[in-house]
Structure 1
Amino acid sequence: MALHDVLLGSISSHPLITLFVLSTGLLLSRCIYQLAFHPLAHVPGPLFARISSLWLYYHAYVGDEATVINKAHAQYGPYVRVSPNEVDISDADAVAPIYVNRGGFLKAPCYANFDIDGHKTIFSTIDMEYRARRAKAVVPMFSTKNIRENEAALYGCADRMVDRMEEEAKTGLPVNVLNIARSLAIDAVSTHLFRENYNGTSEKGPRLSVSAFVDAFVAVGRFFYLPTSVFLWLEWAIEKCVPDEHTATSMGVVDKFVDNLVDQTPPGAQNYPGRLIPLGLERSEVKAQCKDLMFAGTDSTGMNFATLCRQLALNPDKYEILRKEIVDNANADEKRQDIQALPYLSGVIKESLRISMANPTRLPHVVPEGGWTFKGVTFPAGSFVGCSAYELHFNERVFPNPFSFQPERWLEENLTPDAMKSFFAFGAGPRACIARNLATVELYMGTERLVERDVLRGARACQDKVEIYEWFNSSVKGEKIELIWEKPRV
């Protein structure tokens, strides 16, 4: 009794001890709840992830989220709890209910961290009506018909990209094909959607003027899962405490391009801003929507095309098969096929998209009212569920030797239903990448022109491995994917 009285007396007479005891008790109670009584307690996962969101925040920040979660799936199975209220699913059958059926589940609130200049974008908004009004105005620009009508201008972008790569290959120095691929992407996006070429392929410096702008938005992925209020404060603090002159310059160049574009768009214009302005949107929002396209279109397609170039250099036998198909088709006269009908070229494109990891991590969506039961596992309303390209594209059962570049996987005689179901390069459903048709055409055109002119012959990859930060949009460590021509082209 005496010891009991002493302890009680100590606690009551020392506020800090009282605070410590209460805090410890609350923390332990919360941990016990998360592990044993939370509606997702039945879903396995790393201990710290089941207790706190800090586990997910940390791995997102350091850029190994997809790899670490992949290892967790190997240990725990197809459902892994990656934070107290969040589950990653590695089963391709989950794609349809989460993203497709009846419009899919709503996006998670953290997508607001990709708002631009204080405006929600077609990508970042979780409000379906907000998105539908804007998307309806611009979707026709991404149609196959509209893209075909602008084919000559897009081929012009591809030709200038090939000219630039060929010119740099002659120097005998390493060539950063990521930079060149981005130049194709920004030119194609601006030429087709804005009807004004950014002229990235004409820039001669080691980095595109748009690259730092793109990389700044890519870096947002480090903090993707943070509550938006925390994210906004952190973004402000970083900008004030760690200013980056190079990024500021790039932002200024992009702002000037977009300002001129929107301000000089005449009434009735059928380019991207011209289709948004009649909706009565603020000028600043129209500019934000344009900048969103420039970022996403440059980053993802740049990564995909650079990966394709590197893989063809690493696999000269596959390059020869592809070159024969493209050259034979070019010489076929009246029997010439549309390039998207060429089977091996299509396989090269799909395989490059599969392994490039432009967007490796999860696309989290919110389980709706009433909850969701998938293959006997129940997920409560309000919890977050999602699939990732990393899990689906590197599934050994679906894609044997998943890290190996095998375009033959996609030939009709080898194609399996599971492979088609697991292809997640552009997401799925009504919230899939709005520009997927344009991005795909860019890859076909760029590859066709590059192979026709045989630019990749003799190219060798400089890096043994391309390492990335596994953020929402991947970031190449060192910002280079380099090839070198040992015998400079003449």
Structure 2
Amino acid sequence: MANSDRMNDNNSYSYLLLAGVLGLAIYFASQALQNLFWHPLSSFPGPKLGTLTRFYKAYIDGSPSKSFVHALKEFHGKYGDVVRVGPNELHFSDPSAYFDIYNPSNRWDKEETLYHSFGEDRSSFGFLTYKEAKERRDLLARRFSKKAVHEVQDIVQEKVEELCASFERNCKTGPINLFYAFRCMSTDVITYLCFGKSIDAVHAPKHEAPIVKAMDASLAAFVCFKHSPLYKNMIMKCPPNLSKIISPATAGLVDLQVLLRKQIEEITNDPSELAKLPHSQTVYHELLSPEAYHSGTVPSSESLYEEAQALLFGGADTTGTTLMHGSFYILTLSDVYRRLKAELLQAWPDLDQPPRLSVLEKLPYLTAVIKESMRMSPGVASPLPRVVPAAGATISGKFVPGGTVVEMSSQFVHRNESVFEKPNDFIPDRWMGDNGQRLDKWLVNFSRGPRQCLGRELAWAELYLCFAHVYRRFDLTIHSSSPKALEFRDCFLPDYIGPHLRADLSPVAA
């Protein structure tokens, strides 16, 4: 009798398990049919797996040799200008679509999956709505305006000169790793301007600053965070020492996070600490001023920390990689190198009298080189997703229903042959004269619209000063000219997978 009861119980459990499996199968099958045939986006073409599930993107991002932004080129070649890349997601390739999505008059929300994958939800970068972000962005804009950047140009120049001094110290012992060196400089600039003290990354042996290497190592983790919020929360909410054990590659980043949290806690607990900072124009001075907010209340220490992390990643990486990409082409194209050196020598005849930023901004060929470097650099590699408002919108001549996630990578503007002749060639002359003014509209490395990059004026200043100082103070030859140095995976920011760009440098006599 007892055996019979146990058999009946086992059968009941088996039936329940079978019913559960069948129920899940029916649910997923119905979702698949809904996505394929009855979804509002069912008329848009795209890969079938992408139509069925958002985890198709996770599969692509998980590949060691491929990433989503590269897959998009294949998709558009097969399906046309508009591709359904997810169940509720469209990517566009027609350049005009960029200005429909990232239009200054749009107040479209950011999409949560990407923007909440960095642990910066309560920052100017991570706020999803325009309304949430506006007050913080308006506040920060005062420190990153063109006028404010010109006021602190001596600080930027000081960090560039420290980079050049490190080149002089190290160039006799072998080639310089430009991949690390430029990003060390941009890291030192943003940390000093934002937090009142520099990381001093340019002084690291071989420019292999732990924080720069840690930021690189963290990029793959952000991809995992995007597709698995559970993993993100586990890493972000664990005690620092435990996080290092779980994910050793992010140890340097965890140490930086601890430093930032400690510094912010000290200042929020005792605002008099502000008086101890080296200068009175830091971002902290704005963020910690109650008068700067409509509510009269300073944000929480957690929000201030997340803002600090967002500013660090946003300010350190893209400028450094633009300098690296530009240098690759300058050093492999002898005519570009010669013309840039000649213009800098004419504008800066005495090495002991470096020109001001306002002078460099008027140099036509240097400006053209910078613009072409921006165009050829991936900047932020990923498309920046936005949510179409409830009423829907017309994008590139096609009506898109409300609630749809829409996006476009800047690569599809910068490498479009209908806008840029020979788009894969580095041609600074395209930016000269009247034709250059026409093309300015299509330079979208800082994005466009009300959520475009806050630090664009600072980036311009760093690029002018760094290109000018490095190519005026040194003669450079590329140590290895493989284009593999520019290969990357899309981890929101580019994760470079090829050999690092290195150059042999020698200081000029005069």
5+ long unaligned stretches in structure 2: 1-10, 268-272, 291-297
Q: How many residues align?
A: 474
Which residue identity lines up with residue 482 of structure 2 in the other structure?
Q
Q: Read off the aligned partner of 2:500 and give its amino acid letter.
A: I
Matched, 1:330 2:334: no
Give aligned-pair identity as a percent. 24
Residue in 2 that maps onto 1:435: 455
Q: Which residue of 2 aligns with 1:265?
A: 274
Q: Which residue pairs with 1:277 in the alignment? A: 288
1:384 aligns with 2:405: yes
- Contact kept, 8 Å, 2:473 with 2:507, in 1: the verdict is no
Following TM superposition, by how much is the alpha carbon of 1:462 offset from its aligned partner in structure 2, in angstroms?
Answer: 5.0
1:80 shift after superposition: 0.6
Q: Secondary structure at the match of 2:85?
A: strand
Task: Please state how far the C-alpha of 1:421 moved relative to its aligned partner.
Answer: 3.6
Q: Structure 1 CA distance, aligned partners of 2:150 and 2:342?
A: 25
1:444 and 1:477, CA in 2 relative to 1: closer, same or farther beyond 3 A?
same
Measured in 1, the distance between the counterparts of 2:207 and 2:505 equals 20
TM-score (norm 1): 0.87
Aligned to 2:381: 360
Once residues 40 and 69 of structure 2 are traced to their aligned partners in structure 1, the CA distance between those partners, rounded to angstroms, is 24
Residues 284 and 240 of structure 1: CA distance in aligned 2, closer, same or farther (over 3 Å) = closer
Q: Distance in 1 between matches of 2:421 and 2:218?
A: 34
Q: Structure 1 246/61 Cα, relative in aligned 2: closer, same or farther at 3 Å?
A: closer
1:165/1:49 Cα in 2 relative to 1: closer, same or farther (>3 Å)?
same
Q: Given residue 294 of structure 1, which amino acid in structure 2 is its aligned partner?
A: L
Q: Which residue of 1 aligns with 2:327?
A: 309
- Kept in 2: contact 1:310–1:481 (CA 8 A): no
Evaluate the alpha carbon distance shift between residue 193 and residue 241 of structure 1 in structure 2; reply closer, same or farther with a 3 A threshold.
Answer: closer
- Assess if the C-alpha contact under 8 Å between 2:109 and 2:128 holds in 1: yes
Given the alignment, which residue of 110, 116, 119 partners 1:115?
Answer: 119
Give runs of aligned pairs for residues 104-253 of structure 1, distance below 5 A.
Answer: 104-110=107-113, 111-116=115-120, 120-172=122-174, 174-205=175-206, 207-223=208-224, 225-226=226-227, 228=229, 231-233=232-234, 243-245=246-248, 247-253=250-256
Letter in 1 for 2:76: H
Kindly provide the CA deviation profile for residues 353-390 of structure 1, in whole angstroms up to 9, marking residues without a partner as x.
Answer: 11111312210000001111234422111110011022
Distance in 2, Cα, partners of 1:250 & 1:16: 44
Q: Is the Cα contact below 8 Å between 2:171 and 2:505 reproduced in 1?
A: no
Q: Secondary structure at the match of 2:83?
A: strand
Q: Deviations over 1:459-487 (max 9, x none)?
A: 33353412211121111116x52224299
> How many angstroms apart in 2 are the aligned matches of 1:267 and 1:167?
31
* Whole-angstrom CA distance in 2 between matches of 1:89 and 1:365: 12
Contact 1:408 1:414 in 2 (8 A): no
SS in 2 for 1:381: coil
CA distance in 1, matches of 2:281, 2:310: 19
Q: Residue 422 of structure 1 aligns with which residue?
A: 442
Superposed displacement of residue 224, structure 1: 6.1
CA distance in 1, matches of 2:231, 2:386: 20
What is the root-mean-square deviation of aligned Cα atoms in Å? 3.2
Mapped to 1, the partners of 2:249 and 2:492 lie a distance apart of 23
Deviation at 1:205, TM superposition (A): 4.8
Stretches of structure 1 that go unaligned for 5 or more consecutive residues are 1-9
The answer (yes or no) to whether the contact 1:462–1:484 under 8 Å persists in 2 is no
**1:186–1:298 CA contact under 8 A, matched in 2:** yes
Distance 1:287-1:33 versus aligned 2 partners, 3 A rule: closer
Does 2:470 align with 1:468? Answer: no
For residues 130 and 18 of structure 1, the distance between their equivalents in structure 2, rounded to whole angstroms, comes to: 45
Question: Contact 1:166 / 1:489 at 8 angstroms: preserved in 2?
Answer: no
Equivalent-residue separation in structure 2 for 1:234 and 1:45 (angstroms): 34
Question: Within 2, Cα distance between the matches of 1:203 and 1:254?
Answer: 19
In structure 1, the residue corresponding to 2:227 is in which secondary structure?
Answer: coil
Letter in 2 for 1:330: W
The structure-2 alpha-carbon separation of the partners of 1:223 and 1:396, relative to structure 1 and needing over 3 Å to count, comes to farther
In 1, are the aligned partners of 2:176 and 2:505 still within 8 Å (CA)? no
C-alpha deviation, 1:273, in angstroms = 1.1
Tell me the CA shift for residue 122 of structure 1. Answer: 0.8
Identify the residue that residue 475 of structure 2 maps to in structure 1: 455
SS of the equivalent of 1:385 reads: strand
277-286 vs 73-82, which moves further = 277-286
Normalized against structure 2, the TM-score is what? 0.84
Task: Report the CA distance between 1:67 and its aligned residue.
Answer: 1.0
Instruction: Give SS of 2:406's match.
Output: strand
Moved more, 87-96 or 435-444: 87-96
CA distance in 1: counterparts of 2:507 and 2:361, whole angstroms: 32
> 79, 90, 93: which is aligned to 1:90?
93
Out of 81, 90, 110, the residue aligned to residue 84 of structure 2 is 81
Q: How far apart are the structure 2 equivalents of 1:486 and 1:455?
A: 6
Structure 1 contact 100–428 (Cα < 8 Å) conserved? yes
Q: CA deviation at 1:16?
A: 5.2
Cα deviation, residue 228, structure 1: 4.3
- Structure 1 residue aligned with 2:294: none
Gap change, CA 1:130 and 1:310, over 3 Å in 2? same
State how far apart, in whole Å, the 2-side matches of 1:482 and 1:437 are: 26
Distance 1:348 1:486 in 2: 20
With over 3 angstroms needed to count, the CA separation of the structure-2 counterparts of 1:81 and 1:221, relative to structure 1, is: farther
The residue identity in structure 2 corresponding to 1:423 is L
Deviations 1:310-338 (A, max 9, x none): 221111221111111111122499x9972
More off after superposition, 367-376 vs 218-227:
218-227
Amino acid at match of 1:211: V
1:351 maps onto 2:372 in alignment = yes
In structure 2, the partner of 1:397 is 418
Hey, what's the Cα distance between the residues in 2 that align with 1:149 and 1:341? Answer: 18
1:96 deviates by 2.6
Structure 1 runs of 4+ with >6 Å offset: 234-239, 486-490
Is contact 2:181-2:207 (8 Å) kept? no
